[in-house]
Amino acid sequence: MRWITTLNRNERGAVSVLVAFLMVVLLSFAALAVDVGMLYSEKAQLQNGADAAALGIAQTCAKTPGSPLCSSSSAVATELTNKNSLDGLSAVQSVALSSNRVTVTTTAKEAGRSDNRVSLFFAQALGVSSAEVGARATAAWGSPTSGPAPFPVVFSKCELLDGPDLQLIQFRLKDNTASGCAGGPPGGFSNLDQVPGKCEALVDINNAASGSSTGNGIPANCSALLTKWRDQIIAGDPPIGLFPIYESITDSGTNAIYSLTGFAAFEVYGWKLKQTGNPPFPEAFRHEYYSGSKCSTTQCIGIIGKFVKMVSLADGYTLGPHNPSMGTAVVKLTLEEAAP
């Protein structure tokens, strides 16, 4: 037997209302899937642009504080925010500078619109035609006060005062007879206590660094780093490391305590780390290569290179007030990145 069901007028009306309601629900889901996804993409682009602009301005301010690019009207902000937008359009709402810190606030920009909003598609069926999207990033710059020394040695401040020319920094050679110069500790080789299993030392210039090593040769776990440095030097791209600088020393040997004053960027060109006439790599590399900066005698132990001015994006450093005498600044994003 076949059953035939017919709907009366009231029932057909109820079905129509149900269908209309379901259409609204489906359109709402479409709005979430398409429009919200588009807003997330726009937000990510704006955040990338704000991050890049904040870092770019901070780097400029660290290098040349009086530059027009280190200002609230810096062209760096617009350039970098636009480059990080897929359509090449974004708006810089503000650039705020204060005490070695810059905050960049960005908002969306769409062709054909005079406001800082983006047009929505399916959400228009719900009466929402556009939305405002923005991002904010803050970058700070200053001299590093604590963080990793990539190679566990420390240089005397008087070496830094020798200037930016190529020089041989010989461990234990300088002494207190030179003005402003503190020589290496008796029996020490300017080495610092290392992080276990790593070729680095953690340094805090607010505290004394102790643990001078009396060893003769390369520090533990440093062969891989020295190999990398050698390859960079041969390729014409000498490595630059942030080395801690001391201004005075107490005690001697393994009990030596360094009074640290900051980090300085040193471009490495060669080294000799063992007291023999001609040790093989990795204990020595190009130690006889540079005229006037050789380390060829039996007693000579040191690193060849030059101090350079540098703005670094390296991680792991705590920042303090900018100290231009060190020639080194570190720039980093801070946690103040909430959207406006």
pLDDT per position as a tens digit, 194-206: 888 999 888 888 7
Which pLDDT band, with edges at 50, 70 and 90, does 337 fall under?
A: very low
Is residue 107 within 8 Å of 16, Cβ to Cβ?
no
**Among 52-66, 267-281, 322-336, whose mean pLDDT is lowest?**
322-336
Tell me, what's the pLDDT at 301?
A: 85
Residue 102 inside a domain? The answer is yes
What the block records as the tokens of 52 is 């890049």
pLDDT averaged over the chain? 81
Domain assignment of residue 138, yes or no: no
Question: Looking at residue 276, what DSSP letter applies?
Answer: S
Report the candidate in 332, 305, 169, 165 with the shortest Cα–Cα distance to residue 246: 169
Q: Is 327 helix (H, G, I), strand (E, B) or coil?
A: coil
Whether residue 189 is found in the same domain as residue 248: yes
The per-residue pLDDT for range 68-104, each reduced to its tens digit, is 999 999 999 999 988 888 777 788 889 999 889 999 9
Considering the domain architecture, whether residues 187 and 305 belong to the same structural domain is answered as yes
- How many other CB atoms are there within 10 angstroms of residue 128's CB atom? 12
Residues 168 and 237 in one domain: yes
Calculate what percentage of the chain has a pLDDT beyond 70: 77
Residue at 137 is within a domain: no
pLDDT score of 126 more than 80:
no
pLDDT at 285: 96
Cα 263 to its chain centre, rounded Å, is 15
Closest by CA to 159, choosing from 311, 323, 322, 306, is 306
Average pLDDT in the 150-164 region? 83
Note the helical H segments in the chain. 9-30, 37-63, 75-83, 157-161, 223-234
Q: Which of 110, 132, 154 is the last residue of a domain?
A: 132
Closest CA relative to residue 326, chosen from 59, 144, 200: 144
- Give me the DSSP letters along 7-19: --HHHHHHHHHHH
On whether both 127 and 195 belong to a single domain, the answer is: no
The mean pLDDT value for 216-230 works out to: 90
Fill in the DSSP letter of residue 237. -
Give the model's pLDDT for residue 232.
97
pLDDT of 57 = 94
Q: Which of 96, 123, 148 is nearest to 27 (CA)?
A: 123
Give the residue numbers spanning the domain of 56.
Answer: 9-132
Average pLDDT over residues 3-23: 57
Burial of 135 (0-12, 13-18, 19+ CB in 10 A): buried
Region 154-182 average pLDDT: 75
Looking at the structure of the chain, the number of domains it has is 2
pLDDT tens by residue, 263-319: 999 999 999 988 887 889 999 999 999 988 998 888 888 899 999 988 888 888 888
